[in-house]
Amino acid sequence: MLAALKRLFASDPEAAGAAPAAAAEAAVAATLLVEAALVDGDFDATEKASIERLLAERYALDGATLAGLIGRAETAARKSTQLYGLTKRLKNELDYDERIELVEMLWTVVLSNGELHDFEAGLMRRLAGLLYVEDADSGAARKRVEAHL
């Protein structure tokens, strides 16, 4: 997994039009979002479209950059066996409100197909804990997403 993440972070951030730190953050966020989409065993077009929209809005990425980022994120997520390394970096680099925003992005992906699988709910509990986001704030983020969808 470490090798996959190193390759993910080694993608040329300058070519992507983002600062290196922002590119690395986008890569980790993309991997978590794809992991959330994959956890129920079905990475459908609705979930992929949600991930594309969320990453484009948050990191101002264009279509080609986005496609490459999501492709690398999917490869990394499929090879991943743990979440701690991914979340640790984000926990340390994002302030609390930004971590809540990330949890809201994750809820958007898992709820985008209109149903919440047990594996998705379990993943969201684990991710909120690893990101040091309070249960109440994760629940509020979920309710905001449900109201929006």
Tens digit of pLDDT per residue, the chain (149 long)?
Answer: 334 444 444 444 444 444 566 778 888 899 999 999 998 888 889 999 999 999 999 888 888 888 899 999 989 888 877 788 888 888 988 899 999 999 999 999 999 988 898 999 999 999 999 999 999 999 999 999 999 98
**C-alpha closest to that of 127 among 149, 145, 109:** 109
* Confidence (pLDDT) at 95: 92
What per-residue confidence (pLDDT) applies to 149?
Answer: 83
Measured between its terminal Cα atoms, the distance across the chain in Å is 33
Query: Given this model, what pLDDT does residue 40 score?
Result: 86
Classify domain 2-148 by CATH number: 1.10.3680.10
Give the pLDDT confidence score for residue 43 in this predicted structure.
86
